[in-house]
Amino acid sequence: MSDQQLLSEYVEVWWQAINDFTELLEELDESDWATPTDLPGWDVKAVASHIAHLESRLAGQPEESADVGEPPHVTGMMGLYTEIGVVNRREASPDAIINEIRSAATARHTALLADPPTDPAAKPEPIFGGVPWDWRTLLRNRPLDVWMHEQDIRRAVDRPGGMDSAAARHTADYLAEALGYVVAKRVGAPAGTTVVLELDGSSPFAFGVDESGRGERLPDLPAEPAVLLRMEREAFIRLAGGRCLPDPGTVEVVGDEELARRILDAMATTP
């Protein structure tokens, strides 16, 4: 697959994620918008406002500003930045937020189709919050962000679904790539340690710790890994996203149970 084809694939997965996200929002009652999510300090409306903020910025709207104060749930500069979109839409109606997401995403999708990026290492313009991302990172992250927040809302309002979409597969496979870093750096497993992750709907992932202490993706599955983790896609997303504990019975451990517990405890790689 060429670089341009890969970037175009990311665009289409993001576009599908946007449609799924807005369709979910349209199903909600107005009272649902005040339901707290797993994200500290954010209800459903805050999550939708966050997506509206970033999509509007990427569609060419100017950077927003707001006095966000010092919310106890915010940590770091990016947290303060994303809070701007939430604060600025507190008085907006659900319909207004949905329409903003659809309008901004449609404009951006049209622009990306008319003039598709071809160099993954080039810098996109505009971009939000001054993040130093290239096209590959930006386009790969947008489906993840939108779909993860779709799931935040689904859990909040008890509307499960969306686990078999293109964005679900994209997100799970993307987050699984970080397991080598988790095992080697966060857990500090010794050189020679191997870990296999089996996710429903994905090919197995194998990682090892090399002699320099770095986690690396292995081309072949080891016959007897130190740890084998089997889990449903939703269980993995909850763990890797740092959201909430998976449901009982959705994670199976084979091998070193103490090491497996440390890996599971350290698995969160995205807010």
Nearest to 11 by CA among 125, 141, 124, 122: 141
Q: Tell me how far apart the alpha carbons of residues 102 and 217 are, in angstroms, rounded to a whole number.
A: 38
Domain count, the chain: 2
Boundaries of domain holding 184: 177-265
Do 156 and 228 belong to one domain? no
Residue 167 lies in a domain: no
Do 146 and 181 belong to one domain? no
Angle, alpha carbons 149-116-13 (nearest 5°): 30
Q: Tell me how far apart the alpha carbons of residues 9 and 50 are, in angstroms, rounded to a whole number.
A: 24
Do 85 and 218 belong to one domain? no
Residue 149 lies in a domain: yes
User: What type of residue sits at position 207?
Assistant: F
Residue 114 lies in a domain: yes
Residue 41 lies in a domain: yes
The last residue of one of the domains, among 139, 162, 185, is 162
- pLDDT at position 271 is 63
Q: Tell me how far apart the alpha carbons of residues 26 and 38 are, in angstroms, rounded to a whole number.
A: 21
The last residue of one of the domains, among 103, 133, 162, is 162
Do 144 and 226 belong to one domain? no
Residue 227 lies in a domain: yes
- pLDDT at position 135 is 98
CA 151 remoteness from chain centre: 10
Do 101 and 199 belong to one domain? no
- pLDDT at position 269 is 82
Find where tokens 């959201």 sit: 243
- pLDDT at position 40 is 93
User: What type of residue sits at position 227?
Assistant: V
Q: H/E/C letters for each residue in the chain?
A: CCHHHHHHHHHHHHHHHHHHHHHHHHHCCHHHHHCECCCCCCEHHHHHHHHHHHHHHHCCCCCCCCCCCCCCCCCCHHHHHHHHHHHHCCCCCHHHHHHHHHHHHHHHHHHHHHCCCCCCCCCCCCCCCCCCCCHHHHHHHHHHHHHHHHHHHHHHHCCCCCCCCHHHHHHHHHHHCCHHHHHHHHCCCCCCCEEEEEECCCCCEEEEECCCCCEEECCCCCCCCCEEEEECHHHHHHHHCCCCCCCCCCEEEEECHHHHHHHHHCCCCCC
Q: Tell me how far apart the alpha carbons of residues 85 and 50 are, in angstroms, rounded to a whole number.
A: 5
The list of the chain residues with pLDDT below 70 reads: 271
Residue 170 lies in a domain: no
Residue 171 lies in a domain: no
The answer to whether 194 touches 226, Cβ cutoff 8 Å, is: yes
Count of Cβ atoms closer than 10 Å to residue 204 Cβ: 13
